[in-house]
Amino acid sequence: MSTKIEEHSVRVAAICDRMAALEGPLLPILHEVQEEFGHIPEGALQTISKKLNLSRAEVHGVASFYHDFREEKAGKHVIKICRAEACQAMGADDLGDHAKSRLKVDWSQTTSDQKVTLEPVFCLGLCACAPAAMVDGKVVGRVSKDRMNRILDEVGA
Amino acid sequence: MSIKVYVPLDSGSVALGADDVATAIAQKATTAGADVKVVRNGSFGMYWLEPMVEVETSHGRVAYGPVKPEDVDALFAADFLTGGEHKLYLGRTENIPFLKSQTRLTFQRCGFIDPVSLEDYRAYDGLTGLKNALEMTDEQIVQSVTDSGLRGRGGAGFPTGIKWNTVRQAPAEQKYIVCNADEGDSGTFADRMIMEGEPFVLIEGMIIAGLATGATKGYVYTRSEYPAAIRIMNEAIEVARANGVLGENILGSGKTFDMEVRMGAGAYVCGEETSLLNSMEGKRGVVRAKPPLPALEGFMGRPTVVNNVISLCSVPVILEKGADYYRDFGMGRSRGTIPIQIAGNVKHGGLYEVGFGLTLGEIVEQIGGGTATGRPIKAVQVGGPLGAYFPKELFDTPFDYEEFAKRDGLIGHAGVVVFDDTVDLMKQARFAMEFCAIESCGKCTPCRIGSIRGTEVVDKLARGEDPELQIELLTDLCNTMKFGSLCALGGFTPYPVMSALTHFPDDFKPHALDIAAE
C-alpha cells in the first residue's frame, strides 16, 4: 500500500469517526470525503465500509448511485448548465451547445488542460431567470451566449 | 439612526447580481458619508425586478429595481435614501400590483424580514402558531390541520391532517418529521425561496408537526443544488436553538424537538418520499414498495411524517389564524392558498401566492404577462418534468387538483413553465423520456427500460419510420409505464409525452429533431 493511500485512509477514517453518531451517516460522510479530496479517492470505500460495518460493494453502490459523487477529480473550474425545461424555454440547449463547442468537450467531461469541467444540471431553482448556470458554486441567471463567453474567458478557457 | 437598505440574498437575486449591488451600495454609502445599514432579506419573488433594492423611509418601504451595480451612483444622486424619484423607482413595495394582488399566507413574511433574525420573525407575529399549538393537545392540533383542508403541496395532494393522525396513533419510542425539500422539478423554486427567505416558518411548522404526532426529531432533506438554502437553514436552526425555540424546552414548555439539515447528492428520484428515506438512511435512493406506509415504517423503520416544505410552512398560519380562516380560501377540494411559480419564457416570472381557482390563462397571460420573447405562447407545462403540456385551448382550466386531473394533467408542486411558438413538442416528449432514463432509480422495469425505449420510439418517429406504428407503440408504452411503474417518475412521465402527442399532433410529423449528440 502506497503512503498516499495510507494517508488518505487516515483522513477518511477521521471523517467517519466525526460523523458516526449521525443517523444514516453514509451520505454525509461521502459528501465530506468529496469536499476534502475533490472526489471519492481510491481506498476510501474500503475505509468507509470497515468503519460502518458495510460491505465495500454496498458503499460502492451508494457512491455510484448519486450524480454528485466523482471517481475522478474535476477540472480546476466546474461549470454547470441547467438543461431542464424552464431553461430550455429560454434557449438552454443552444447555450449548452455553445459551451461544449468552445470548450471542445461533451457533457460531464473535462478540458484536456484540466481547467474546466462542464456538467449538466437539472434545475437550480432559478427558473424565473433562465437560462441558469452555476460557476464554481456561484449562481448565474439569464445567461446569454455573451455572458457565457465572459464566464469562459474568466476561467481561462 | 442608520437608514436600512434591503438587498435580497435570495439565490435568484444573487444570480442576477445582488451581491455586487449590495457591495456597491455599502461602498458608496461609506464614501458619501451616509449612515446606511444594508440588510440582506429574502426575495418577494418578482424576478424581473431583481435585484430589487428597498429603502426604509418615513413613508414606508420603497423599492427600486432591477438595480445593477452601475446604477448605484445615480440612485444616491437621486436621493433614493429618502425615497427619491429615479427611473427604477417602483413605489412602495406593498403596492406593487404583482405583490398587492396576492394572498400571502405561507409567504407572508418572505421578503420583509432578515431571514435569520428571530427578532424580525417575532415582530411579524412569527411563533404565534407554535404558541397556540403548545396550549393544545396533539389531537386538537391534528384536528385543526385536518379541518383546514390542507393537502400535500409536494404534488400528491394527500390530506396533511390524515397523514399526521396516522403517525400520531402509531406507537413508537421514536418518531420523525421529515421535510421533503428535494425540490427537483424544473419550474419550481418555492421551497428554495422560503428556506432562503423565511426559514423560521419551516422550523415552526416542523415543531408543530412534532407536537401533533409525538415526534421529537426532524430532518430537512434538501438538494446539493441549493447551497444557499442549506447555509441559511443551518444558521436559522442554530439561532432557534440558542433562543430556546428548538431543543429540550420549546419556548419554556418542557417539550422537546430538534432538527437538522441533510443534503442529497443530485438524484431527482430522491424527491419521491420512500427513495428519500432510503437516501437519508445512507442507501441508494431506490424507491420502496408501499405498504408499509412511511407513516408507520419510515425513517429507520419508525413512524415518520414526510411532508413537503410548503405543506409544513402553511401549518403555522393555520394554527395562528384558525382552520376556518385558511379553509375559506380556495375552491372545491383544494383549500387555502398555493404559491404558483411562473417560470420559463415569461415576462413577469416569479412566485405568486393566491387561493386555488385562478385559470391557467389568467396565470400566464395576465399575471405572467405573456412570453419574455414577445412571441405567442404555444404551450405551458404545469407540474414539473412529470406534468402535462397544456395548449391555449385549455387555458380556462382552474388551478385546482381535481380540475387539472380531469384534463389529464397535474398541478404537482405548482410550477408553471411557459414556452413560446418556437418550441418543438416532439423534442419535449423525447426529453421527458430521456430525463426519466437519466433519473430512474432502476428498481422497476417500466421506468428503467420503458424510458429508454421511449426515446428510441420518438427518434424513429422523427425519422419517419412507419409513423403510425410508432405512435401506437408510444401510446402503448406510456400506458405500461403509467400503470406498471412503482412511483411517480415512471408513472407520470407519460403525462408530458401523451399531452404533447394529444394536443400538438402536428409536431409529431417526421422532422429532424434539433438535438445535439449525447
Q: Is B350 on the interface with A (CB under 8 A)?
A: yes
Q: What's the pTM?
A: 0.97
How many residues comprise chain B?
A: 518
A51 assigned to some structural domain: yes
A31 assigned to some structural domain: yes
Instruction: Provide the chain A residues 81-110 that lie in CB contact (below 8 A) with chain B.
Output: 82, 84-90, 93, 96-97, 100, 106-107
Provide the residue type at A71 as one letter: E
Q: Is A150 on the interface with B (CB under 8 A)?
A: no
Q: Which of A137, A157, A143, A150 is nearest to A93 (CA)?
A: A143
Instruction: Provide the chain A residues 8-27 that lie in CB contact (below 8 A) with chain B.
Output: 23-27
Which residue, of A19, A35, A65, is where some domain finishes?
Answer: A65
Residues of B in contact with A128 (CB under 8 A): 12, 45, 47-48, 189, 341-343, 346, 349-351
Query: How many structural domains is chain A composed of?
Result: 2
Cβ distance of A128 and B341 shorter than 8 Å: yes
Q: Is B121 on the interface with A (CB under 8 A)?
A: no
Residue A5 has pLDDT above 80, yes or no: no
A43 assigned to some structural domain: yes
Q: Is B514 on the interface with A (CB under 8 A)?
A: yes
Chain centroid to CA B406: 23
Spatial distance between the Cα atoms of B473 and A107, rounded to a whole number of angstroms:
30
Rounded CA Rg of chain B: 24
| Residue B209 CB contacts under 8 Å (≥ 6 apart), including other chains | B164, B177, B215, B218, B305, B307, B312, B315
E strands within B203-348? 217-222, 258-263, 304-308, 330-331, 334-335, 337-344
A58 assigned to some structural domain: yes
A38 and A96 housed in the same domain: no
DSSP string for residues in chain A: --HHHHHHHHHHHHHHHHHTTSSS-HHHHHHHHHHHHSS--TTHHHHHHHHHT--HHHHHHHHHHSTT--SS---SEEEEEE-SHHHHTTTHHHHHHHHHHHHT--TTEE-TTS-EEEEEES--S-GGG-S-EEETTEEE-S--HHHHHHHHHHTT-
Residue B467 has, within 13 A of its CA and on its CB side, a CA count of: 12
A149 and A81 housed in the same domain: yes
Contact indicator for B171, B204 with CB cutoff of 8 Å: no
A24 assigned to some structural domain: yes
Residue B9 has, within 13 A of its CA and on its CB side, a CA count of: 21
Q: Is A126 on the interface with B (CB under 8 A)?
A: yes
Q: Is B16 on the interface with A (CB under 8 A)?
A: yes
Cell numbers that stand for A27 in this block? 451520505
Q: Is A78 on the interface with B (CB under 8 A)?
A: no
Look up cell 441558469; give the residue: A132
Classify residue A1 as exposed, middle or buried by CB count within 10 Å of its CB (0-12, 13-18, 19+). exposed
pLDDT in tens, chain B (518 residues): 899 999 999 999 999 999 999 999 999 999 999 999 999 999 999 999 999 999 999 999 999 999 999 999 999 999 999 999 999 999 999 999 999 999 999 999 999 999 999 999 999 999 999 999 999 999 999 999 999 999 999 988 999 999 999 999 999 999 999 999 999 999 999 999 999 999 999 999 999 999 999 999 999 999 999 999 999 999 999 999 999 999 999 999 999 999 999 999 999 999 999 999 999 999 999 999 999 999 999 999 999 999 999 999 999 999 999 999 999 999 999 999 999 999 999 999 999 999 999 999 999 999 999 999 999 999 999 999 999 999 999 999 999 999 999 999 999 999 999 999 999 999 999 999 999 999 999 999 999 999 999 999 999 999 999 999 999 999 999 999 999 999 999 999 999 999 999 999 999 999 998 775 44
Instruction: Provide the chain B residues 139-198 that lie in CB contact (below 8 A) with chain A.
Output: 183-189, 191-192
CA distance A6 to chain B (A): 25
Cell numbers that stand for B314 in this block? 402553511
Spatial distance between the Cα atoms of B477 and A49, rounded to a whole number of angstroms:
40
A21 and A52 housed in the same domain: yes
Cβ distance of B16 and A129 shorter than 8 Å: yes
Cβ distance of B47 and A128 shorter than 8 Å: yes
Domain that holds residue A84: 77-154
DSSP string for residues in B59-96: TEEEEE-S--GGGHHHHHHTTGGGT---TTEEEEGGGS
Chain B residue closest in CA terms to A65: B284
Cβ distance of A65 and B299 shorter than 8 Å: no
User: What letter does residue B359 receive in the DSSP assignment?
Assistant: B
A35 and A89 housed in the same domain: no
A49 and A22 housed in the same domain: yes
A104 and A148 housed in the same domain: yes
Residues of B in contact with A87 (CB under 8 A): 186, 344
Residues of A in contact with B286 (CB under 8 A): 65
Cell numbers that stand for B464 in this block? 419517419
Across the interface, of A65, A86, A129, the residue whose CB is closest to B186 is: A86
A102 and A147 housed in the same domain: yes
Chain centroid to CA B281: 24
* Residue A8 confidence (pLDDT): 86
CA distance B46 to chain A (A): 9
A72 assigned to some structural domain: no
Q: Is B426 on the interface with A (CB under 8 A)?
A: no
E strands within B137-288? 176-181, 217-222, 258-263
| Residue B468 CB contacts under 8 Å (≥ 6 apart), including other chains | none
Which residue, of A14, A38, A65, is where some domain finishes?
Answer: A65
Element at B432 (helix H, strand E)? helix B425-439
A88 and A141 housed in the same domain: yes
Contact indicator for B480, B490 with CB cutoff of 8 Å: no
Residues of A in contact with B192 (CB under 8 A): 125
Instruction: Provide the chain A residues 24-43 that lie in CB contact (below 8 A) with chain B.
Output: 24-28, 30-31
| Residue B476 CB contacts under 8 Å (≥ 6 apart), including other chains | none
A59 and A99 housed in the same domain: no
Which domains does chain B show, CATH number per domain? Answer: 3-95 (3.40.30.10), 118-327 (3.40.50.11540), 333-416 (3.10.20.600), 425-508 (1.20.1440.230)
Which residue, of A65, A86, A115, is where some domain finishes?
Answer: A65
A24 and A55 housed in the same domain: yes
CATH code, A132? 3.40.30.10
A87 and A43 housed in the same domain: no
A55 assigned to some structural domain: yes
A57 and A112 housed in the same domain: no
Cβ distance of A141 and B281 shorter than 8 Å: no
Residues of A in contact with B281 (CB under 8 A): 23-24
A70 assigned to some structural domain: no
Cβ distance of A89 and B284 shorter than 8 Å: no
Q: Which of B204, B209, B205 is nearest to B251 (CA)?
A: B204
Cβ distance of A61 and B284 shorter than 8 Å: yes
Residue A18 has pLDDT above 60, yes or no: yes
Element at B141 (helix H, strand E)? helix B138-148
Cβ distance of B12 and A126 shorter than 8 Å: yes
